[in-house]
Structure 1
Amino acid sequence: MSLEEMTDDQVLDAWHAAKMAQKYAVTEDPSVRMALKLKAEAAAIRRFGVGEHLHAYRKRFPEEAP
């Protein structure tokens, strides 16, 4: 699914999933997990704009800090 086809929540959910995988997964190469997290954050930046992506993430996941 392309970024244009994704809803705002799907973009944020993908970023959140990548952040959690980078933080907690032990089965993948750490550099791969970091790359996936950065790719997901870049998609959020394209969708919401720099800085605004953090506000959107905090609103969707108030219990998590980016």
Structure 2
Amino acid sequence: MKIVVDWDRCEANAVCMRAAPEVFRVDDNDNLHVLVEDVPPELLAKVENAVRRCPKQALARRELTNTDS
């Protein structure tokens, strides 16, 4: 699974970071950073929770295909 961020919607309010700190970080300048591009199975539940809780619906998940690298 990959994480997709709609940067036009993202307000970097850190809800995702609280839900999955291993995957998301908001820096001191209020910029969101995705720390793990390809989400491992052990973090899947946390990322799905972060996607659901995003108040601006700026996060989505995309399943990896054989053409993704």
| TM-score, normalisation: structure 2 | 0.29
Determine which structure has the larger helix proportion and give its number: 1
Tell me which of the two structures has the higher relative contact order, counting C-alpha pairs closer than 8 angstroms and 6 or more residues apart: 2
TM-score, structure 1 normalization? 0.29
- Point out the structure with the larger strand share: 2
